[in-house]
Structure 1
Amino acid sequence: MRAFENRPDCVVVDEPLYGYYLKQSGSDHPGKDDIIAAMDCDWRSVANSLCTDEPTQCALYYQKHMTQHLLPEMSLDWVDQLHNCFLIREPRRIVVSYAKVRPEFALEELGFPQQLALFERECERLGEAPPVMDSAQTLANPEGVLRALCAALGIPFNDAMLSWPPGKRDSDGVWAPYWYSAVEQSTGFAATAAQQDPEPAVPAGYEALCDEAEEIYQRLSAHVLKPASV
């Protein structure tokens, strides 16, 4: 999101379905009441806005979504109006990190099944795989991956995507104080200490969940973009 927002030709929106997700799912996230109060919690209204209220001052409109926000009662027809790209990350790192905050959870709370379902929907609609980026590969070669992504989307690459000034943004969601401390300090793509560490050991009781997530991750990994030469 920071990379695209730093382009002079792009406007971004941060997790526009988060309020709907919290209100409908009952999930207890930090700042839940403030998020619900600040956002449109009608998914139909949000989806319509995302597809019709495109900013006129910029050529590109970047929407950051979390697939766990796509609850079962939602129709996904509106998604067909977007150019959908997928970001994947090593499942065991996600599971171990999430388990520290919420020890009991289903895989759906991490968005893995929803991401796979949306990916397969896109493959069927397009007749080919949509762009997939792997987080580790992106951190290792941000320019090559972002150039490949832009090429896949048919938009020009801009060097402004590689670095940005630190600090808060007006576009950041209400939840930024709880989740964005590292993002606010960032000035570009760099792995955190945790991301540089070897893959963490999975606590007892989570192995089956990790295996299910890993299967989904591997299915999408087969379609990861090849970084462009720089």
Structure 2
Amino acid sequence: MWSGPRNLSTALMYSFAARGDCGVWDEPFYAAYLQATGLHHPMYQEVIAKGPVDPFIVAGECRGPGNPEKPYFYQKHMTLHMVPGFPRDWMASCENVFLIRHPARVIASYAAKREGPTLADIGFVQQAELFDEIAHRTGHTPRVVAAEDIRATPRVTLMKLCGSLGLPFNDRMLHWQAGPKPYDGVWAPHWYNAVHRSTGFDTAEGPLPELEGDYAQLAEEAMPFYERLYLHKM
């Protein structure tokens, strides 16, 4: 599952984990990304210390099988983590889905946790690039699911997504226990406060947030990449 930050990505990971038949991995390349870029994200020292920081080791583990007791392996990936030089050949061995959300919503949510995001931080450019690369590697257009659709009609949207993956839909995907999860990344205390209070997907989102200044400009820059993937959403 490929997304940028603040895209409903953690809630969707919780949803698949709640099935009971999915092992999950929270942002496999995060430590390697921070090590390679030197960026000082919140809790970056803890993230790097937890590792793994070798992208080739991560890529090998992404090929599976994951948890041998679970038949399915769900990986929550951030598109911005796939910096130049990181291996990508493993992606062709996976079923790839792109999770999108309107840039205005992403930026408003991200800025509440880390001020001054750049276009590189929110992952829209990288998402479009990876979409094209995976289409080339696999020979077919990847699946796209919209966070807004999941929020508005979770059962219907997840049934479509599962059907496209050849997975039986499971009602347990609609609910999970509140609180931290054992498979959360070490960065969860900073980023996951809201989703830890949740027991399912929130209701449909309201009007788009009104952005000003640099944030409004950032949303405008991200829109063409978002709109290109939106054309392919389920």
Same-fold status (TM-score > 0.5): yes
CA distance in 2, matches of 1:196, 1:104: 24
Identity %, equivalent residues: 41
The reply on whether 1:140 has 2:149 as its aligned counterpart is no
1:84-163 correspondence runs (5 A): 84-99=96-111, 102-163=114-175
* CA distance, structure 2, for counterparts of residue 146 and residue 100 of structure 1: 28
State the 1:184 CA deviation: 1.1
Partner Cα distance (1:87, 1:145) in 2: 12
| Residue 164 (1) aligns with residue 173 (2) | no
Moved more, 199-208 or 178-187: 199-208
Q: Which has the larger radius of gyration?
A: 1
Rounded Cα–Cα distance in structure 1 between residues aligned with 2:102 and 2:210: 13
C-alpha distance in 2, partners of 1:169/1:99?
24
Contact 1:96 1:200 in 2 (8 A): yes
Match of 2:56 in 1: 44
Letter of the structure 2 residue corresponding to residue 221 of structure 1 = Y
Structure 2: unaligned runs, 5 residues or longer: 1-12
Q: Residue 101 of structure 1: CA displacement?
A: 5.2
Offset from partner CA, 1:121-177 (integer Å, 9 cap, x none): 222334432211111111000011111111111111111101111121110110111
Once residues 207 and 187 of structure 1 are traced to their aligned partners in structure 2, the CA distance between those partners, rounded to angstroms, is: 32
AA at the equivalent of 2:227: Q
In structure 2, what is the equivalent of residue 188 of structure 1? 200
Aligned residues between the structures: 222
Instruction: Provide the residue aligned with 1:81 in structure 2.
Output: 93
Which stretch of structure 1 is more off in the superposition, 168-177 or 103-112?
103-112
Which structure 1 residue ranges, 4+ long, deviate > 6 Å from structure 2?
none
CA distance in 2, matches of 1:196, 1:151: 25
What does residue 28 of structure 1 align with? 40
RMSD of Structure 2 on Structure 1 (CA)? 1.7
- Cα distance in 1 for partners of 2:101, 2:39 equals 22
In structure 2, the residue corresponding to 1:56 is in which secondary structure?
Answer: coil
| Structure 1 match to 2:6 | none
User: Could you tell me whether the CA contact under 8 Å between 2:100 and 2:144 is conserved in 1?
Assistant: yes
Scaled by the length of structure 2, the TM-score of the pair is 0.88
TM superposition score normalised by structure 1: 0.90
Over 3 Å counting, the alpha-carbon distance change for 1:2 and 1:98 in structure 2 is closer
Q: Do 2:55 and 2:87's aligned partners in 1 also have CA atoms closer than 8 Å?
A: no
Q: Distance in 2 between matches of 1:149 and 1:97?
A: 25
